[in-house]
Each structure stands twice: as C-alpha cells, then as structure tokens.
Amino acid sequence: MLVKLKQFSVGGNRPLSLRCPACRKTGTFQTIENVHDLRTGDIFLGQRFCPDPSCRAQVFCVYDLQSNVVKSYPPQRIDFDSKAIPATIVKTFEEALSCQAEGMHVAAAIMIRRTLEELCQDKGATGANLKARVNTLQSSVVLPQGLLAAMDDLRLLGNDAAHIEAQTYDAIGQDELEVAIELTKEILKAVYQLDDLLGRLRALKKT
Ligand SMILES: [Zn+2]
C-alpha cells in the first residue's frame, strides 16, 4: 500500500489491536509519548509499541477512521509454536508465514506444500509423488482422519500455486491461506508436539 502525503495534519493517536511481529502475541499497541500520528485523508500513520514489557517491539502502522490496521511494518505474523518440530521443517514453514505476512499468497502456498514434503521425508514416507507419500504417511503417524483429508487439500493448494494449468482453487486469497496455515499447524502439532507432550507427562509419572 502506497500512501502519498500530499496534505496532512496531526491526529489519531488511537490504541491499535495488533499481533506483534516480534513476540507474536496479540495486544493493544499504544502510542509513544509526545509522538503524534499523521493524518492524510481518511488514513492515519503512526508508530506503536508492543504492550508486553519484555518485548516492546516498535511497529509502524497505517490505519483507517475505524482504527482498522490496513498495513503495518514489520508485518503481523501468525503465531507458531515450533517446539519439538525438526529445524528444516520449521525453517520452511516460517518462510510460508513470512510470505503470508507480506501478502505473497502463491509463494506461501508453495512453501506450505514444501512443509508437507519435508514432513513426509522426515517420517520416511515414500512414494512416486506427494499424494502417494501422504498416503504412506498414514502407516507411520497417527493422525485424525480430518487432518489426513486436510493434507490432501493443502497438497492441492500448493499444486495450484506451483502450476498455472492446475486450477482446483481459482485464486489463493488471504482466507484460504489463513485456513491452510492453521491446518498445517494442527498437522505439525499432531505429528510432533503431541508425542513430545506425552513424553513429558510420562517422564513426570516416573518421578
Ligand atoms: Zn511483542
């Protein structure tokens, strides 16, 4: 979004609801004391900081008359707990989140598909293509049926993103991507984090 500051005044200075790009918690971001926002037409520009005292990250915001944030820098990123997930998979999925935060939906969908590829590889699921590998994965990990079906949808979404002739999805928008990211998080949680949690619970029982 390009804002041209032809005529401006000071004003706004409203608290804004944001997901912090640094600590990724959602909070009400406040203005910096004695620093005014700028107004140009129906758009405000201003600096905010994260309310978490241990974070205090600075974010530049563009927002409208209803205090809806239309753009922020660094961009807001979806929260992701990477605990117990292999580093290569975390790196790929983080890249998907970065693309989504920057509005690069096609690139994000491709990186989500790659996250699935790497998950299959890590779990030793083999096959001629990703569809076959996802099927093989069922024998090595325990996943609810719904999440297995979701993996196939995510595979197709990434497929569409990578190949212009394949058009299962007409366009990959913000909504499709947010759902795809949430599903990928649930899959990663079920494959890696549930075992980790059970292991910790069992370790506690021994003592
Ligand atoms: Zn923060």
Q: Tell me what pLDDT residue 20 has.
A: 93
**pLDDT the model gives residue 50:** 96
Q: Which of 8, 73, 79 shows the shortest CA–CA distance to 38?
A: 8
Q: Which domain holds residue 144?
A: 87-202
Kindly report the pTM of this predicted structure: 0.76
State whether 47 and 16 are in the same domain: yes
Residue 60 alpha carbon to ligand 1 centre in Å: 13
In this structure, are residues 59 and 50 in contact, taking their beta carbons and an 8 Å threshold?
Answer: yes
Ligand 1 mean position to 100 CA, how many Å? Answer: 19
The Å distance, Cα 195 to ligand 1 centre, comes to 29
User: Same structural domain for residues 92 and 58?
Assistant: no
Q: 12 C-alpha to center of ligand 1: Å?
A: 22
User: Quick one: tokens of 64?
Assistant: 């409208």
Give CA–CA dist 185/177, Å, rounded: 12
Q: Report if residue 161 sits inside a domain.
A: yes
Q: How far is the CA of 56 from the centre of ligand 1 (A)?
A: 6
In this prediction, the residues of the chain whose per-residue pLDDT falls under 50 are none
**How many domains does the structure of the chain reveal?**
2
40 and 111 belong to one structural domain: no
CA of 20 to the centre of ligand 1 (A): 5
Q: Does some domain include residue 80?
A: no
- 67-118 pLDDT, tens digit per residue, is 999 999 999 888 888 999 999 999 999 999 999 988 888 899 999 999 999 9
What pLDDT is attached to residue 141?
A: 83
Q: How far does the centroid of ligand 1 lie from the alpha carbon of residue 49, in Å?
A: 8
The pLDDT assigned to 49 comes to 95
